[in-house]
Amino acid sequence: MGRRARGRRLQQQQRPEGVEDGAEGGGKRSEAGWEGGYPEIVKENKLFEHYYQELKIVPEGEWDQFMGALREPLPATLRITGYKSHAKEILHCLKNKYFKELEDLEVDGQKVEVPQPLSWYPEELAWHTNLSRKILRKSPQLERFHQFLVSETESGNISRQEAVSMIPPLLLNVQPHHKILDMCAAPGSKTTQLIEMLHADMSVPFPEGFVIANDVDNKRCYLLVHQAKRLSSPCIMVVNHDASSIPRLTIDVDGRKEVLFYDRVLCDVPCSGDGTMRKNIDVWKKWTTLNSLQLHGLQLRIATRGAEQLAEGGRMVYSTCSLNPIEDEAVIASLLEKSEGALELADVSAELPGLKWMPGVTQWKVMTRDGQWFADWADVPHSRHTQIRPTMFPPKEPEKLEAMHLERCLRILPHHQNTGGFFVAVLVKKSSMPWNKRQPKVQGKSLETREATQLSTATPTEGKPVDALEPESQLVTGTGDSEITTPENLENNENKKDGVCGPPPSKKMKLFGFKEDPFVFIPEDDPLFPPIEKFYALDPSFPRMNLLTRTTEGKKRQLYMVSKELRNVLLNNSERMKVINTGIKVWCRNNSGEEFDCAFRLAQEGIYTLYPFINSRIITISMEDVKTLLTQENPFFRKLSNETYSQAKDLTKGSVVLKYEPDSANPDALQCPIVLCGWRGKASIRTFVPKNERLHYLRMMGLEVSGEKKKEGVALTEDSTATTELPEDGLGEELRAEEAGLPDATPGCDPTAPDPPR
């Protein structure tokens, strides 16, 4: 008998009677316990209670409600993406179909609570529900609702996001022309909100503003890319830097280089997370004040760096999911003090009517891990100076403290509106930071006229922050702070090609994670573009200079597009920042494309951006045609309406745009426009649309996903009667493809799959 077997037998002999296998340490597992036999985590932490009772952040008489709320599970919340043209249709579908089905539903003898809108979120676009995943699987109606949520989340039409996490982007008050920096962006739920706000007017394919979303963790950057890609925006760039030393970027303005200052900065810093106890129950046993003491310095450096890069008149939101003043008011007070009037707290009390919050505190104390309190820096013994810093204490002078208006900070307590705990402060920049009263200037020739670009020195590696008091004038050219040209740099400059934005040189910056492919803009004289322009009859206003690829050699497989503002950022800063991803895919090469008039077909990911510039190969289709095209692999012309056939029969084989226009005279029909990528074959038409997007459009037209999943597709029902099989995402069977005259699939260019991680 082996050692492990003997150990198991000994445990069984020692186990009390009546205790089931896998339930040791906690008796028979209760309903609230963990599955798999783990002992239940006790939601108690005496030090936590002692600390916050002493600081009095909870109003008198509400402590029991506060602790009671922390011990309850957090309600699930979802947000309908506001900039998509069919947001109203999704809201209508939710309210009039799924929520109505839940009104009189009972599960295990208990009435199901219908989801409710968040009172403070505009236009009823955010909802919360107490339905757990366990309950969602107990009823066919709830299962359909659950499938709807999962599918719409994958399509980018719904975001499952904690309620308090939605607050910072709302308080930024973003306009479509704003340049935005999201300093600690992963996993990306707030970033997607910012993108939506840029695209408030869907008739404008390229807003003037953009979002640069940064995260220090290379792997989390790819999660961020996945979130942002669902919204198909040409105005988002994901970069990978330590936020406390994020490089200062430059842009070309009328032939001269200028420092890029942001109109809005979101500073959602890493924190101890004691406001997340309702969902991260590990915090209960791991919480100590040491976490806050260790994070305070990093939080202050990140906030300082954000304030440095904020434009005068701009707005910065600082937020944490912690209730601790050391991470909250102490950081804000220290930042305000060192700004010497350059920053001030904005009064946002009236900006989110319906939101309940507590004003920021003006007095607090510092407690060590072992429970020792300090009310003043002067009381801290020298041995504690590495752990406790003077910036952790409130200002001594009453006049200075009063002038800061710390009461304008917002602290969200869990028991007030059944949410997580949260802290948010809104700062406005009135003038340059005191260590740089003059705006930084960058010497340099025009982007168009220069032949070589000096490479900046190394960016500080991860975890090596910039000194908070470093002069802005020294930060103009990146966090290396001064430009040094070496023979090696000159050699690199000579080899640099115009329009090629590669990753930073490995000797200049310590890179982590994957090495990114370069971003190569298509030259004006590239022979690749005229056939595309002619085939799709592109409008003269089409910004061809914004097209890029991710390869410098061989055939260009995929073409991406960015806004002209992001193009400017890319071309001027490729050596000082690590770009993970930017641009949306607009065209894909067919292997057999030369047989047709154009080697590139349209990609669904970028069709809403591209469509306003296309004047040819557009087929207007009816709602019945949409259903047919999305539920059948390659429907023959005879299965489509006469109007559609008459438009398609005269077109040559190749990529087409399929456009559905809503009929205002028929209110029961789908009331949002739909644009699909398709292929006109020999005798049929097919669509290149990802499966989740197909499901989305079909749901909006009254078809529903059933629980039955088949090998070749997903069974759908309309009014619980007819069933249809949804085609697979691939290009179809070889014989069907040959009959339809379909293009060959390009390796690595799946028409419906998202880009692989780079």
Q: Which residues are annotated as a binding site for S-adenosyl-L-methionine?
A: 184-190, 215, 242, 268
Q: 519 has which bridge partners?
A: 501
Q: What is the DSSP string of 172-224?
A: HT--TT-EEEETT-TT-HHHHHHHHHHTSSTT-SS-S-EEEEE-S-HHHHHHH
546 φ, ψ (degrees, to nearest 5):
-90, 0
> Per the structure block, which two tokens stand in for 410?
């917002």
Q: Which residues of 336-445 form beta strands (DSSP E)?
A: 343-345, 358-359, 366-367, 373-374, 410-412, 422-429
Question: CA–CA distance from 234 to each of 77, 158, 559, 601, 699 (Å)?
Answer: 28, 20, 12, 19, 27
- One-letter amino acid for residue 19 of the chain: V
- Strand spans (E) along 522-565: 547-549, 558-561
CB 695 within 8 A of CB 682: no
How far is 642 from 638, CA to CA, in rounded Å? 8
C-beta of residue 401 within 8 angstroms of C-beta of residue 382 = no
Q: How many residues in the chain?
A: 758
Cβ proximity of 246 and 464 under 8 Å? no
Alpha helices (H) in 635-713, listed in sequence order: 642-648, 691-700
Query: DSSP letter string over 617-673?
Result: SEEEE-HHHHHHHHHSSS-BGGGS-HHHHHHHTTSPSEEEEEEE---TT-TTS--S-
Do 618 and 657 contact (CB within 8 A), yes or no?
yes
For tokens 């023959």, what's the residue?
A: 636
- Indicate the SS3 state at residue 698: helix
- Annotated catalytic residue, options 93, 267, 321, 598: 321
CB atoms within 10 A of CB 203: 6
Terminal Cα distance for the chain, rounded: 50
Q: How far apart are CA 195 and CA 210, in angstroms?
A: 8
Q: Is 3 exposed, middle or buried (0-12, 13-18, 19+ CB in 10 A)?
A: exposed
Between the alpha carbon of residue 620 and those of residues 54, 140, 189, 289, 331, the distances in Å are: 67, 37, 35, 63, 57
Beta strands in 693-746 (DSSP E): 703-710, 713-718, 722-725
What would the two tokens of residue 31 be? Answer: 């309903």
Tell the residue number behind the tokens 């600390």, with chain if given: 51
CA dist., res. 118 & res. 79, Å (int): 10
The alpha carbon of 684 is separated from its chain's Cα centroid by a whole number of angstroms, namely 38
Provide the β-strand partners of residue 374: 366
Residue 298, token pair as written in the block: 């990093």
* Burial state string for 385-399 with b = 16 or more CB within 10 A and e = fewer than 16: eeebbebbbbbeeee
- Cβ(422)–Cβ(412) under 8 Å? yes
Q: Is 672 a catalytic residue?
A: no
Indicate which residues carry an active-site annotation.
321
